[in-house]
Each structure stands twice: as structure tokens, then as C-alpha cells.
Amino acid sequence: MALLLVPTILTLRLKRHRINRFFGFLSLAVVTLAEVWSLSLLVLSLPHHTLSPGHLLKAAGALWITNVLVFALWYWRLDAGGPHLRDTREHHHSGAFLFPQLGLESHEGWKPHFVDYLFLSFNHSTALSPTDTAILSRWAKWLIMLQASISLTTIALLAARAINIL
């Protein structure tokens, strides 16, 4: 990841948005694959009781937090062409997510920021169900399902281990 961060930061500072977008997606793909791989290793370690309950709790908690952050970044980078294109437009339209503020006259000219995608991601990882933001595009629906699957596996893993300990 450190190797990927150098060109990502460099292209951002040089305002090479297309190349920066590529390195951003590549970095996210690497982190997402590492997250899925780590979760798989954690699930496979359960029957062997190789991790103490404390280590299991810390690992699952770290994976859950990573899941929220990684998918918030995916949504932020993909929605309506990404942050650079969203910032150059006057209005936010044709996005993959229909935020409630977009339907209010009092919020005319409103655009989502990273915290809006973080909130969306947190809610999907916590509730495992639709939030107040509608998902409009198919790619977003696929990502939401992947995120919920990872979160559900992590939560089920913790619950199973907790029940086993009791």
C-alpha cells in the first residue's frame, strides 16, 4: 500500500486527476482484497481455536471498521464521477445514491461530501438494510451487497465465538 500511496499523492498534487483516479481505485481494490482475505483467514482459524478471544475481538473489530472506511471510499470515489467531477458541477444529479437532501428546496445546490458516504457505509454495515439514502445504480447495489456480506460475516463470527465462550 505504501508503494501505491506515493504515486497517488504525487498525481493529486500535480492535479493529474485521471491518473490519480486510477491509483485511487487500484489502492482501494488492493485494500478490499486484503480485507476479504483477512476475513477468510479469520473464519478459517475459528475451528482450530488458534486465536484467543481478545485477539479475535480485536481482529473482527478492525475488519469491521476497515469495511466501513473502505466502502465509504468506494462510494465517494465512484458516485457521480468521483469527488473531482462532483466539485466542478453546480448541482449533484445523476449519482448512484439519492440522498434525502437532494429532494429539499432548502438544500438547493447541495452536494455530498465524504462524511455523507461514510454515514451511508456505516449504516449499511450496522443495520444491514437500506438507509434513508436510496441506491439507484446496479454497481452501487452490488457494492452494498458485498459490504453487507462482509459485515454480516464479521458480526456472525463474533456472535458465534461469544456464544462458544459462554
pLDDT at 37: 95
Return contacts of 54-58, CB within 8 angstroms, 24+ apart.
56/157, 56/158, 56/161, 57/158
The predicted-structure confidence for 6-50, as pLDDT tens digits, reads as follows: 988 898 899 888 898 899 899 999 999 999 999 998 888 877 878
- Number of independent structural domains in the chain: 1
pLDDT at 104: 77
Contact 59, 42 (CB under 8 A): yes
Which residue range(s) make up the domain with 38?
2-165
